[in-house]
Each structure stands twice: as C-alpha cells, then as structure tokens.
Structure 1
Amino acid sequence: MTEEVKSENVNETVEEESADVKENKGMAILAYIIFFIPLITSKDSKFAMYHANQGLVLFLFGVSVSVIGTIVPLIGWLLILPLGTLCWFIFVILGIINAANGKQKQLPLIGKISLLK
C-alpha cells in the first residue's frame, strides 16, 4: 500500500511538470531569441527559467564570439567569426527544438553554465 502512494505522488509531480511545460513552451522557445522576456513574464516556471538561462548563456557566447572574432586580426576574421557564428546558430536551433519538444536538455559545450537560479 505504501508503494501505491509513492507512485501516485510521482505521477502527480509529472503531471504538474507537464502542465508547466505546456503553459510555458512559447516562453521557452522565445528565450533563445530574446532571453529577457521569459525572465520578466515567467518567473515562476522552472521550465521557462531553465531555457531563459540557456538563452542568456547563448547570448553571452554570441557576444564573446563576435568581440573576439572582430578584435583578433586575420585568424579572427577568417576562422573564429565564421565558425563561432555557425556554432552559435546551431545551438540556437538545438535550443528551440528542445524547448518545443518540452525537454530540459543542456546545449553542447555551454549548457552546464548556470547564471540564473
């Protein structure tokens, strides 16, 4: 009988998370385009905040690639800037796909960084 209660609690938790995912899927997708809008509108959603964090880290990655690629002559212009921009674009697409599918999957290389609580 104790096992049944535990399994019921697990199912309730899953249903609550799926409700959060359903309600905030659009905000999670938007986090990869304009990361600060989910920060303002969906503070209570763990799902939207996770993707807002990923979007913020991705934004900072893009800014750093752009700055470093512009400052470093020749190698930056011919190697860092094009490859970094391509990598950034792929990460944006992966993040949007994960958010649209309702997954909290980390982005490659930069996904472990957590700037928001």
Structure 2
Amino acid sequence: MASDNTKLYSILAYIGPLFLVGLLADKDNPRVKFHVNQGLVLLLAWLAVWVAALILDILPIGTLIPNLIRWIGGIVYLVLAVLGILNANNGVEKELPFIGHISLIK
C-alpha cells in the first residue's frame, strides 16, 4: 500500500498546487520529495511566465506577444507535467528538462 501512495503522491506533484498533498502526507519519502520538488519548480516557472506576460500586457505593445508567451508557456508546462507524471508513474527520478536541476526542497 505504501508504494501505491508513493506513486500517487509523486504523480499529484505535477498537477499544480496538488504538490502540497505529497509534501504534507509523505515528506520523508525521498522519491515523493524529489517529485514534489520537480512539481513545485515547474509550477513556479509557469507562474513566472504568467507574471511576465501580465507585465507585458500593461505595456503599450499590444496583446499578441503576451498572449503568445502565455500560449507557449502553457504548452511547455503541459509537456513537462506529462513527462514528470510518466516518470513518477514508472518510479523514475529523472530531472525535467531546463528546470529540473533547481532544488527548492531539501
């Protein structure tokens, strides 16, 4: 049963703020902690892209560029989240491309 929870918490880590479930429920499990960190970094990167697009919305440059940034950022988030979920489902601790080297949770 513990391995099922490990897999569940690891998968939930890549679905937005649901990383908190694994962080609170199984914080001492190294596999869960790895995936929670990856999910948190992914969420923060997506939020940074969203805030950057929001700032560009304020500038008088039109809406095309901010909307493209949001659209591309959303697709990248989705691709990386699916990749992370597949890794978590397979029990693999593989860093996500571009952002996986960042460690926020020790």
TM-score bracket, normalised by the shorter chain, equals 0.7 to 0.9
Equivalent position to 2:72, from 66, 83, 86: 83
CA RMSD of aligned residues (A): 1.7
After superposition, give the CA deviation of every residue in 1:13-72 in whole Å (9 maximum; x if it has no partner): xxxxxxx75551111001111111111011110000000000100110111111112221
Note the residue ranges of structure 2 that are not aligned, 5 or more in a row. Answer: 58-62
1:57 paired residue number: 41
Q: Secondary structure of 1:72's match?
A: helix
Aligned length: 98
**Equivalent residue letter for 1:38:** G
Point out which structure has higher relative CO (alpha carbons under 8 A, 6+ apart): 2
The aligned runs of 1:1-117 (5 Å cut-off) are 23-33=5-15, 34-73=18-57, 74=63, 75-77=65-67, 79-117=68-106
Taking structure 1 as the reference length, the TM-score comes to 0.77
Which stretches of structure 1, 4 residues or more, deviate above 4 A after TM superposition? 20-23
Q: Percent identity?
A: 42
